[in-house]
Amino acid sequence: MISFPYSPRELQATEARLSQIYEAAKLGLKGDKLALASGMLPSEYRQLCQLDPTVELAALKGAADAEVEASTQLRDAARNGDSKAALAILQHSHGWATAKESTRVAVGLTNADGSAMNLVIGWEE
């Protein structure tokens, strides 16, 4: 059996640690993967989040900055004539429906003997 030496590590939200968290979040990592990319164990990351609120703020700021960057690139592409980028903005940011929608119509009927009968008609365009 292999034994690993254990020594508890001291957790602190240093500027370097916060920078690592920010960069990992900016890449889109979350949770345990963010912790590992930042050089911490997942349990250490959760503990540090509880001890210092700036840790979660660094992760949130990294994710927000990445979203701003992606949105800016998408908007610039749409402004330069990229119709797919313009459609993506309309669909995701402004709630436009996709090209393929499903429609269903439900009709309730009653038989001559009084028992109910349901008819559901569905089609896709």
Angle at 17 between CA 30 and CA 41, to 5 degrees: 55
User: What is the structure's pLDDT at 88?
Assistant: 83
**Dihedral Cα 24, 26, 31, 37, nearest 10 deg:** -10
| Residues facing 124 on adjacent strands | 102
User: What is the structure's pLDDT at 102?
Assistant: 44
User: What is the structure's pLDDT at 125?
Assistant: 45
User: What is the structure's pLDDT at 47?
Assistant: 93
Q: Which two tokens stand for residue 38?
A: 């930042």
User: What is the structure's pLDDT at 28?
Assistant: 94
- The secondary structure element, H or E, covering residue 37 is helix 31-37
The residues near 6 (Cβ < 8 Å, ≥ 6 apart) are none
Which residue bears the tokens 């001890």? Answer: 51
pTM of the model: 0.66
The string of pLDDT tens digits covering residues 40-58 is 999 999 999 999 999 999 9
User: What is the structure's pLDDT at 41?
Assistant: 93
pLDDT, averaged in runs of 10, over the chain (125 residues): 76 93 96 95 94 95 95 89 84 67 51 56 47
Do 48 and 14 contact (CB within 8 A), yes or no? no
User: What is the structure's pLDDT at 110?
Assistant: 57
> What is the rounded distance in angstroms from the CA atom of residue 57 to the CA atom of residue 94?
27
Convert 36-48 to b/e letters by CB count within 10 Å (16 or more is b). Answer: eebebeeeebeeb
